[in-house]
Amino acid sequence: MLEINKIYCMDCLEGMKQLEDNSVDITITSPPYNAGDNVRGTFYDEYSDNLSTDEYYNFIKNTITELIRVNKYYVFFNFQVLSGNKMAYLQLLSDFKENIKDIIIWHKTSVQPSIQPTRLNSAFEFVIVFAKKELAEKQIFERAFFNNRVRGQLNNNVIHMKNASNESFEGRNENKAIYPVDFVKWFLQKFTDKGDLVLDPFMGSGTTAVACKELHRNFIGFELSAQYCDIANARLDKWKGQTTLF
C-alpha cells in the first residue's frame, strides 16, 4: 500500500497497479482533455495532450477501469467535451454505461467568450460519476447514492461555481487547467467523512490535496510532471510532516 498524504511523481496507471481493490474511498479528478499541447501548461514534456482519438480513448478507458477497481465507492470524473476528445467521450458513455451512476453538470458562472462569433461559449463541464456495476445499479429511488458517508439531502445535480480559483500560489499561472478548491470540497462534503482516503490520479498543482487537508481527509495523488509536483508540495507545506490525520 502506498503512503497516504503523498503525491507520487509517476504515471497514474503504473501507480494504481500498487493499489489494492477497494483501497480508496472515492476519486475526484480531472484528466487531460486532449486539447493540444499548449493548453494544460508549460511542464508537460512527459505527456502529449494531442493524441489521436484511439490513443486518447485507450488511455482514458484504461484509467477509468483502474479507478473503478481501486475505489470503494464513487469516481467523480470531471470532463470538458472538446473537439479533440468528443468522439472518445461519446464512446466512453457507451462502453461504461453499466458503471455510470449519474452525471453532474458544473455550470461555470464566469467564462471567457469564444473568439469565434459563430461558436457557443462553453459554460459547463460534465462530472461523470463512475462506480462498480453493483453499486451503480443499486437504488431505492432513481439515481440514489449509496454509501455510509452520504448525509441528508444532496440537492440538485448542477454545481454553480466559477471556473477558476482565486487562490494565489507560486506557479499558479503555469497551470491553465486548475479548478477551484471549493469545487473539490463540494464532493468531499457530500460523499466523504473525516479520515476518508481520496485519490486524484491527475494531481496537477495539488488542488485536490489542498481541499482534503483543509477538510481533514487523507489523499493519494499521482502526477507526471516533476515541476507540478513541486508546486503542489509547496502548497502543502503548512501540513508538512503530517502523514496521517487520525
Cβ–Cβ < 8 Å for 231, 225: no
Q: What is the pLDDT of residue 117?
A: 79
Torsion of CA 80, 14, 224, 71, to 10 degrees: 50
Q: What is the pLDDT of residue 177?
A: 59
- CA 182 vs CA 44, 159, 160, 187, 188: distances in Å: 26, 11, 11, 9, 10
CA atoms of 96 and 94, how far apart (whole Å): 6
Q: What is the pLDDT of residue 246?
A: 42
Q: What is the CATH number of domain 27-194?
A: 3.40.50.150
Instruction: Parse the chain into domains and list their residue ranges.
Output: 27-194
C-alpha cell at 77: 470524473
Q: What is the pLDDT of residue 189?
A: 92
User: How does DSSP assign 182-194, residue by residue?
Assistant: HHHHHHHHHH--T
pLDDT tens digit at each of 246 positions of the chain: 789 999 999 999 999 999 999 999 999 999 998 887 555 555 556 667 788 889 999 999 999 999 999 999 999 999 988 888 999 999 999 999 999 999 999 998 877 777 777 878 888 899 999 999 888 776 545 567 776 666 667 778 899 998 765 666 655 555 555 789 999 999 999 999 999 999 999 999 999 999 999 999 999 999 999 999 999 999 998 877 665 544
Please choose, from the candidates 234, 230, 226, the residue with its C-alpha nearest in 3D space to the C-alpha of residue 10. 226
- Counting Cα atoms < 13 Å in the Cβ hemisphere of 147 gives 21
Torsion of CA 109, 83, 93, 193, to 10 degrees: -40
Q: What is the pLDDT of residue 159?
A: 92
User: How does DSSP assign 120-152, residue by residue?
Assistant: ----EEEEEEE--HHHHH--SSTT---STT--S
